[in-house]
Amino acid sequence: MKKKKVPDSVTVNRRARFDYQLGEELTCGMSLTGLEVRSIRDHHVQLKGSFVIIKNNELWLSNLTLGAETARNIRLLVTKRQLRELSRAKQDGHQLIPVKLLGGGRYIKLVISVGKSKKKYDKRQSIKERDINRGKY
């Protein structure tokens, strides 16, 4: 019997956890070309600075850095029900943030999260908690 391979994380948007209060997560597929798939599998990708938008009742990933250049807008594959929930969250003032890219198995998937941006004092609190956990104080 074959073991199921757990998709490993290709890259993580570490800045997202610092800048946003993240809520529920959603894993969605991506519509990619062959060269983009090769770049992602070779770990030549950065999620820093990328964002998710809703345009013409479709979900799009913008500003993804693949290799040395910025890629085109990439269509994300979600169901209509999931898209409705995300657009409702967007109308409530939340952001759609790409958190991590999964690519260990056959498919490359993107984990996005609904989040609200932190204020400056919230970021200071996050830094303080991180330093306490690290044992600086």
Q: What percent of the chain has pLDDT over 90?
A: 27
Residue 36 has pLDDT above 80, yes or no: yes
Number of CB atoms found within 10 A of residue 47's CB: 24
d(CA 124, CA 9): 28
Q: What is the pLDDT of residue 5?
A: 60
Neighbour-count burial for 70-88, b at 16+ CB within 10 Å, e otherwise: ebeebbbebeeeebeebee
Give the phi and the psi of residue 102 in degrees, each rounded to 5. Answer: -105, 135
User: Considering only the top CATH level, what class is 9-134?
Assistant: mainly beta
CA-based angle 101:103:106, to the nearest 5? 145
Residue 3 has pLDDT above 80, yes or no: no
Q: What percent of the chain has pLDDT over 70?
A: 93
Dihedral of the CA atoms 47, 49, 53, 58 (nearest 10)? -30
* pLDDT tens sequence across 70-97: 777 899 999 999 999 998 988 888 889 9
Q: Which helix (H) or strand (E) holds 117?
A: strand 109-117
Residue 115 has pLDDT above 90, yes or no: no
Pull the structure tokens for residue 117: 């941006």
Report domain extents, the chain: 9-134
